[in-house]
Amino acid sequence: MAFDGKLLSGIGVMAAVVEAGTFVRAAETLGLTQSGVSRAVARLEQRVGVRLFDRTARAVSLTTEGRRFYEEVSPLLTGIEDAAAAAAVRGHLRVNADAAFGHNVLAPRIGEFLARYPELTMELVVRDRIGDLVAEGLDMAVRFGEPEPSSLICRQIGRSRVLTCASPEYVARRGRPKHPRELARGGHECILVRNTWTGRHFEWEFHKGSEVVPVDVQGRLMVNDSGSLISAMLSGHGVGQPFEFSVRELLDSGRLVQLLPAWSDERYPVHVYHRSREFPAAKVRAFIDFLLTLTDAGPGDAGSGGSRPAARPPGRRP
């Protein structure tokens, strides 16, 4: 049997009408006239031999036969769309990510993305600055913190809580602080994380609802990446403030202990940066969709979307 392109087109129009609820809104979505949508539906009804819609002046609804037909063909349409998208995602994708996100979120799950797109190869570049994506041939970057000063397109894709943690051995030796201020001025050994913008360590804050308590912590060890921070905490050296996603398994297994859980309402954003505003490459769009599944974020852009220069160096966290 020859492939019937008009049948497939008619099914697509039918799906648009079901989703829009009226012929008028479906026409707007498809870029057609209302009469054009009506004719396409009529041709499809003639082709399949059943009436698909009950039409009123205000809306349209599926008939019993139409609903049965739609339930059968809808998964097929989704499969065709997925196959078309996968076929377009090919080539080589270069992604720049900071250490926290690259090591703890992307690297453990990147195989899922590559398995979905067999014609795509990928390079993950982990470092603490975005750099020049164009000059370095990078397609996109993923960073924690407030948007960095850049002409790139910036989109928030998720947030992570900031937790205060230590090893059980450290807690047995030094005890549990009951208030954030007990960590100040040498009350506990704190592991500091270097801010590459200032050369100093990132400041510590504790959030409980609308209450924010800054604490001037001290420590003899400063690190510049999340892996070193976690290793130092596991060794029992001191107290650290990692992102929740970085240590969730360690907390669940008991290798780390959360301190001051009532003061863990601070959430830190993660953004993706890319170059093209209107039509990013299919491989870039596919990777952004994948990132959204990792961060459980919605489809909307942060703020108004588009490029946004930061008013100050990014964030308090690595």
Q: Where are the domains of the chain?
A: 5-86, 91-150+270-294, 165-265
- 259 Cβ partners below 8 Å, 6+ apart? 164, 165, 166, 171, 176, 177, 239
pLDDT in tens, 248-272: 999 999 999 999 999 999 998 999 9
> Lowest mean pLDDT: which of 6-15, 75-84, 267-276?
75-84
Exposed/middle/buried for residue 31 (C-beta within 10 Å: 0-12, 13-18, 19+): exposed
Asked if the domains 5-86 and 165-265 are classified in one and the same CATH topology, the answer is no
Architecture category of domain 165-265 in CATH: 3-Layer(aba) Sandwich (3.40)
Bin 79: left if φ > 0, else alpha if -120 < ψ < 50, else beta.
alpha
Classify domain 5-86 by CATH number: 1.10.10.10
The predicted-structure confidence for 119-176, as pLDDT tens digits, reads as follows 999 999 998 788 888 889 899 999 888 886 777 888 899 888 999 999 999 999 999 9
Say whether domain 91-150+270-294 belongs to CATH 3.40.190.10.
Answer: yes
Q: How many CB atoms lie within 10 A of CB 270?
A: 24
Which two three-digit tokens encode residue 59?
């809306």
